[in-house]
């Protein structure tokens, strides 16, 4: 038998020759008729150097800045507000750039520093993205290439500076100036299209479609449709700077979508597996044979006919769009099904859903999941994600979940940080993205599954649900080891060994080291949307069962960190002191045919003790996908008789044999 605990494929494949960068269009697309960029700039010339109002002077200062910029640049205020909401939800992020170098409420981009060389996501740490010991490892040192050039969609802030006469520094740091810059860009785009600076918001569809730098029509249409949907429904919220901003609903608004035909954008690809409400292009990950009988960068399959797709895994790229696309097209590297771009939510599909991508570091999860990479960085708290990408991702996940029958909860929509190590030796090398700064609460609202109470105080469970903006646990290590990270909202909640912050943090015995507040240390924290069985209460503190121990978090009644829930849990069968916990649900040895080496069912170093309860995500059969050669004739799906429960065991999910536990309602 092959002992899965001896898995040594913990490193990335070495990338081969890089493909040429794809040309990207943006606001610099060919102009309609005789109108030129110079003419557009000339029309705006009287407005150069206009002094924006002070957006921080009062609670309504930013609202006033939108009104002033709309009047100065002859852009309907509703259009300006709608675009800004989709870019940033009107937040300023204290002048910090987004993951693609976008600044302020209008997300004006200046990505010269954001695209600096960064270690790629699947090359850091020691995790083997394929997560299977059945193949010998390569030892790559993949490197994110320097982009040949910075695309125009990542240089909108310098263009706004030219149009307004305002300094780049002011556009980055002054919200009112930033709004003025966005208004100038919209007005320029409208005039480049040969359209009038109309007061009717319905006549700005083409300019809105081009604002985020879309290079093909479906991307522009998806972005513009989102903006107009915001305008139709209306929004109101307090920003991260305490500003109250409101956009009145315009339910009857019907834009002139025909403008998109004149926007000079290329047509979309037709090969993708995406909903019609998002923009997709097909950039395939190669299935190629190379070297000494080796191949990559994924495995062909026949899902869901051969095996059910159970999970969707949310990643961040730890790199910028152009470089990430080059890596996934390298047959000696790894793969994932979809990449999502931050500036506008554009999607590239690389691997068909029927096939198995190498992305999660656990072969059992890979064989039963779809991987989504989001342009971003987990250890840069101020490198915020755009609303456009959150919405596009939510639409894609909703579509995939419906198509493959995947429940929309945190035990099926996994973060890469919640994928378990398949064996004891792999636990320390597992990845930790998308990290504590991914806004799971907002994401599940966009998925149409808001995290709401589902029971009273006696339901037996809690759903972790802090307020993202005000929940600000301290982290270290974003810049260098031990150095405090920037103060920032978070989806994470810290766990202690007793009901108070004076108690030590709970320990993860699988990591073998003392817990820390490091941004990548998952020992002692839970995440928004995860559910746990209640183990006790003491004043403002709630205890849960976590990694075989009692763990406490602050949960005051006036500002709760979690809400009451109910559901199914498992506990050891009567008379059993504890049961083993696994990182994968593999079949029993007798289930394997002679041509497939049996995989060892090796437990993790944890146990589930008697008297403790853990939330059930699913009941699944033991299953193993044997795929170790380029020739698919040898591929097999082995299904056993043993059944497993997937449980929320710690920060990551885990598995227990159904024969070892009993299932019961949480409130019993």
Task: Give the CATH number, domain containing residue 45.
Answer: 1.10.530
Indicate whether 466 and 521 sit together in one domain.
yes
More confident residue, 503 or 95: 503
Cα four-point dihedral sign 359, 360, 361, 365: negative
What's the average model confidence in pLDDT over 633-638?
96
Residues 80 and 173 in one domain: yes
Distance CA 450, CA 412 (A): 15
68: confidence class by pLDDT, cuts 50, 70, 90: very high
Number of domains observed in the structure of the chain: 4
Same domain, 555 and 576: no
Residue 301 has pLDDT above 50, yes or no: yes
pLDDT, tens digit, for every residue of 570-579? Answer: 999 999 999 9
Integer Cα distance of 416 and 23 in angstroms? 31
State the residue range of the domain holding 392: 118-148+272-436
**Do residue 410 and residue 473 come from a single domain?**
no
Round to whole Å and give the CA distance between 588 and 586: 7
Token pair, residue 501, equals 């912050």
CATH number of the structural domain spanning residue 422: 3.40.80.10
| Tens-digit pLDDT profile for residues 421-480 | 999 999 999 999 999 999 999 999 999 999 999 999 999 999 999 999 999 999 999 988
User: For the segment 3-32, what is each residue's pLDDT rounded down to a tens digit?
Assistant: 333 332 223 333 333 232 222 222 223 223
**What is the C-alpha separation between 280 and 479, in angstroms, rounded?**
34
Give yes or no for residue 593 having a pLDDT over 60: yes
Report how far residue 438's alpha carbon sits from residue 103's, in angstroms, rounded to the nearest whole number: 18
11 located within any domain: no
Residue 42 belongs to some domain of the structure: yes
Q: Dump pLDDT digits (tens) for 390-433.
A: 999 999 999 999 999 999 999 999 999 999 999 999 999 999 99
pLDDT for 9 equals 28
Question: Is beta strand 562-565 parallel, antiparallel or unpaired with respect to 461-464?
Answer: antiparallel
Please check whether residue 144 lies inside any domain of the structure: yes
Among the listed ranges 122-136, 316-330, 629-643, which one has the minimum average pLDDT value?
122-136
Q: Which residues pair with 3 in a beta bridge?
A: none
Answer yes or no: is pLDDT of 158 > 90: yes
pTM of the model as a whole: 0.84
pLDDT band at 313 (very low <50, low <70, confident <90, very high): very high
| Residues 203 and 80 reside in one and the same domain | yes
Q: Residue 96 has what pLDDT?
A: 86
Q: Give the C-alpha separation, 562 to 542, whole Å.
A: 9
User: What is the model's pLDDT at position 406?
Assistant: 98
Question: Do 54 and 193 belong together in one domain?
Answer: yes
Q: Is the pLDDT of residue 296 over 90?
A: no
Same domain, 47 and 177: yes
- Residues 460, 613: Cα–Cα separation, whole Å: 10
Looking at the structure, tell me whether residues 295 and 220 fall in a common domain. no
Q: State the average pLDDT over residues 478-500.
A: 94
Q: Which two structure tokens, joined as six digits, stand for 194?
A: 């040969």
| Of the candidate ranges 36-45, 48-57, 485-494, 528-537, the one whose mean pLDDT is the lowest | 36-45
| pLDDT value for 258 | 84
């Amino acid at each position: 038998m092959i002992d899965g605990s001896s898995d040594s494929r913990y490193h990335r494949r070495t990338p081969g020759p890089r493909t040429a960068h794809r040309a990207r269009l943006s606001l610099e697309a060919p102009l309609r008729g005789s109108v030129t960029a110079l003419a557009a700039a000339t029309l705006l010339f009287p407005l150069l150097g206009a002094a924006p109002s002070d957006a921080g002077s009062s609670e309504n200062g930013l609202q006033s800045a939108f009104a002033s910029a709309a009047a100065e640049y002859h852009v309907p205020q509703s259009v300006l507000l709608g675009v800004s909401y989709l870019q940033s939800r009107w937040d300023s992020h204290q002048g910090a750039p987004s993951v693609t170098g976008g600044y302020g409420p209008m997300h004006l981009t200046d990505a010269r520093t954001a695209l600096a060389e960064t270690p790629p996501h699947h090359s850091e740490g020691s995790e083997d993205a394929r997560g299977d010991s059945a193949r010998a490892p390569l030892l790559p040192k993949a490197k994110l290439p320097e982009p040949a050039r910075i695309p125009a969609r990542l240089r909108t802030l310098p263009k706004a500076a030219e149009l307004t006469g305002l300094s780049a520094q002011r556009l980055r740091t002054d919200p009112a100036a930033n709004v003025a810059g966005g208004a100038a860009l919209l007005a320029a785009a409208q005039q480049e299209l040969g359209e009038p600076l109309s007061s009717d918001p319905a006549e700005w569809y083409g300019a809105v479609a081009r604002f985020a730098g879309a290079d093909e029509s479906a991307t522009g249409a998806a972005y513009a449709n989102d903006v107009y949907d915001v305008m139709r429904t209306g929004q109101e919220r307090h920003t991260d700077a305490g500003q109250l901003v409101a956009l009145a609903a315009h339910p009857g608004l019907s834009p002139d979508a025909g403008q998109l035909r004149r926007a000079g954008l290329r047509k979309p690809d037709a090969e993708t597996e995406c909903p019609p409400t998002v923009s997709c292009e097909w950039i395939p990950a190669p299935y190629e044979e190379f070297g000494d009988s080796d191949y990559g960068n994924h495995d062909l399959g026949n899902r869901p006919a051969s095996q059910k797709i159970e999970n969707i895994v949310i990643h961040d790229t730890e790199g910028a769009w152009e470089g990430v696309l080059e890596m996934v097209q390298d047959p000696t590297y790894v793969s994932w099904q979809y990449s999502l771009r931050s500036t506008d939510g554009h999607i590239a599909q690389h691997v068909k859903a029927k096939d198995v991508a190498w992305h999660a570091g656990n072969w059992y999860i890979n064989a039963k999941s779809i991987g989504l990479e989001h342009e971003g960085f987990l250890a840069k708290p101020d490198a915020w994600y755009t609303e456009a990408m959150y919405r596009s991702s939510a639409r894609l996940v909703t579509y995939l979940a419906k198509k493959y029958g995947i429940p929309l909860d945190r035990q099926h929509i996994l973060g890469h940080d919640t994928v378990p190590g398949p064996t004891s030796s792999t636990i320390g090398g597992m990845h930790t993205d998308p990290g504590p700064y991914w806004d799971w609460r907002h994401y599940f609202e966009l998925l149409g599954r808001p995290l709401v109470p589902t029971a009273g105080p006696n339901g037996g469970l809690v759903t972790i649900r802090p307020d993202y903006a005000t929940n600000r646990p301290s982290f270290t290590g974003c810049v260098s080891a031990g150095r405090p990270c920037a103060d920032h909202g978070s989806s994470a909640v810290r766990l202690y060994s007793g009901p108070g912050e004076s108690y030590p943090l709970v320990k993860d015995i699988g990591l073998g080291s003392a817990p820390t507040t490091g941004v990548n240390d998952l020992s002692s924290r839970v995440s928004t949307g995860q559910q746990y069985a209640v183990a006790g209460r003491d004043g403002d503190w709630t205890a849960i069962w976590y990694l075989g121990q009692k763990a406490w978090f602050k949960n005051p009644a006036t500002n709760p960190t979690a809400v009451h829930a109910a559901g199914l849990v498992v506990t050891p069968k009567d008379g059993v002191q504890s049961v083993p916990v696994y990182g994968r649900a593999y079949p029993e040895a007798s289930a394997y045919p002679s041509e497939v080496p049996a995989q060892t069912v090796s437990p993790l170093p944890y146990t589930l003790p008697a008297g403790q309860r853990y939330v059930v995500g699913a009941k699944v059969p033991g299953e193993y996908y044997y795929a170790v050669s380029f020739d698919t004739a040898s591929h097999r799906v082995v299904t056993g008789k043993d059944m497993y429960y997937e449980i929320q065991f710690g920060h990551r999910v885990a598995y227990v044999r159904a024969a070892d536990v009993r299932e019961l309602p949480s409130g019993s």
